[in-house]
């Protein structure tokens, strides 16, 4: 999963569904937390918005025509 750039895994079992609390594991840091679904969505959304865009050098854009 980490080779494909997947940062988070959510564990959903019978007990998680019953309690509406789900385990979210960050595969980069190894940290596992338990949260409600709304908080998990917020965590993942914030992480995606704060992700740094890759740096593109002028060498990479030489072949791009407008």
Model confidence pTM above 0.85:
no
Count the neighbouring beta carbons within 10 Å of the beta carbon of residue 54. 6
pLDDT in tens, 5-63: 888 999 999 999 999 999 999 998 999 999 999 999 998 899 888 875 555 555 554 44
Q: Which two tokens stand for residue 19?
A: 């309690």
Q: Which residues 6+ apart lie within 8 Å of 37 measured at CB?
A: 20, 22
- 10, 23 Cβ separation under 8 angstroms: yes
Which residues are 32's β-sheet partners?
25
């Amino acid at each position: 999963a980490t080779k494909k750039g997947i940062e988070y895994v959510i564990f959903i079992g019978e007990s998680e569904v019953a309690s509406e609390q789900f385990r979210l594991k960050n595969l980069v840091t190894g940290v596992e937390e338990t949260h409600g679904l709304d908080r998990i969505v917020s965590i993942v959304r914030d992480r995606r918005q704060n992700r740094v865009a890759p740096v593109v050098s002028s060498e990479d854009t030489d072949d791009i025509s407008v």
